[in-house]
């Protein structure tokens, strides 16, 4: 299992790099990320959440483990509000507005092209993980009032942890 990087860690604010090659090391990383995600427990985990600056994430919304390498958003549409949390910001969640539907392309572990059209919960998980890979956290998706509250809570937490 891998340590999950927490809010404030600069690795979470950096965009990840695409993978040129899917080799045994990537397969091992995916295995470790899945173990880490299930143990947390969570429904999605991006590589930079475990300190690896590469463009891939794993998820499981109840249909078994999935991995998407070099994901790219082709299209989004609609709007949906949903209570969202993150393993890098544990214990907190917010009602966040995002597009409802997403069309995502990428590669699987064998290098086959994936094209996924998803909405509602699956669409939400995919968007959340792509955000991670772009260096964004759910905090960045909050409205102004939510963000003010979030910053206050997170500052208080950081102060408590430092004292
Ligand atoms: Ni997250």
The number of folded domains in the chain is: 1
Whether 2 is covered by a domain: the verdict is no
Neighbours of 132 (CB within 10 A): 24
What band does 84 get if pLDDT is binned at 50, 70 and 90? very high
CATH code for the domain in which residue 66 is found: 3.90.45.10
Q: How far is the CA of 1 from the centre of ligand 1 (A)?
A: 17
pLDDT at 162: 84
The rounded Å distance from CA 29 to ligand 1 centre is 18
> For the chain, how are helix, strand and coil distributed in percent, rounded to 5?
35, 30, 35
Q: Does a structural domain hold residue 117?
A: yes
Say if 4 falls within a structural domain. Answer: no
52 versus 159: the higher-pLDDT residue is 52
CA of 123 to the centre of ligand 1 (A): 14
User: Which pLDDT band, with edges at 50, 70 and 90, does 94 fall under?
Assistant: very high
Average pLDDT over residues 98-123: 98
Active site amino acids? 129
Q: Does 109 map to a domain? A: yes
Least confident of 18-22, 57-61, 123-127, 157-161: 157-161
Mean pLDDT score of the chain, rounded to an integer?
A: 96
- Of the listed ranges 41-55, 65-79, 100-114, 148-162, the least confidently predicted one is 148-162
Q: How many angstroms does the Cα of residue 50 sit away from the middle of ligand 1?
A: 11
* Cα 42 to ligand 1 centre (Å): 9
Q: Which of 81, 88, 100 is nearest to 57 (CA)?
A: 88
Residues 113-123: tens digit of each pLDDT: 999 999 999 99
The DSSP letter of residue 83 is E
Determine the structural domain holding residue 78 and report its residue range. 10-162
* Residues 22, 41: Cα–Cα separation, whole Å: 26
Two tokens, residue 80: 């949906």
141 in a structural domain:
yes
Question: Cα(92)–Cα(56) distance, rounded to whole angstroms?
Answer: 24
54: confidence class by pLDDT, cuts 50, 70, 90: very high
DSSP-derived secondary structure letter, 54: B
Per this entry, what is the length of the chain? Answer: 163
Residue 158, pLDDT score: 85
Q: Which residue shows structure tokens 């572990």? A: 109
The verdict on residue 3 lying in a domain is no
Looking at residue 117, what is its pLDDT?
98
CA nearest neighbour of 71 among 116, 34, 101: 116
Query: Looking at the domain assignment, is residue 5 inside a domain?
Result: no
């Amino acid at each position: 299992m891998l340590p999950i990087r927490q809010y404030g860690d600069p690795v979470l604010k950096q965009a990840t790099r695409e993978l040129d090659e899917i080799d045994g090391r990537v397969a091992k990383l995916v295995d470790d990320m899945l173990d880490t995600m299930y143990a947390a427990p969570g429904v999605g985990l991006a590589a930079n959440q475990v300190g690896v600056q590469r463009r891939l994430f794993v998820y499981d919304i109840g249909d078994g483990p999935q991995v998407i390498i070099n994901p790219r958003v082709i299209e989004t549409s609609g709007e949906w509000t949903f209570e969202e949390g993150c393993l890098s910001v544990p214990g907190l969640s917010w009602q966040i507005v995002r597009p409802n539907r997403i069309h995502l392309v990428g590669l699987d572990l064998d290098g086959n092209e994936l094209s996924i059209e998803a909405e509602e919960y699956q669409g939400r998980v995919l968007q959340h993980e792509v955000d991670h890979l772009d260096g964004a956290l759910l905090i960045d998706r909050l409205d102004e009032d939510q963000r003010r509250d979030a910053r206050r809570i997170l500052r208080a937490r950081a102060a408590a942890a430092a004292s």
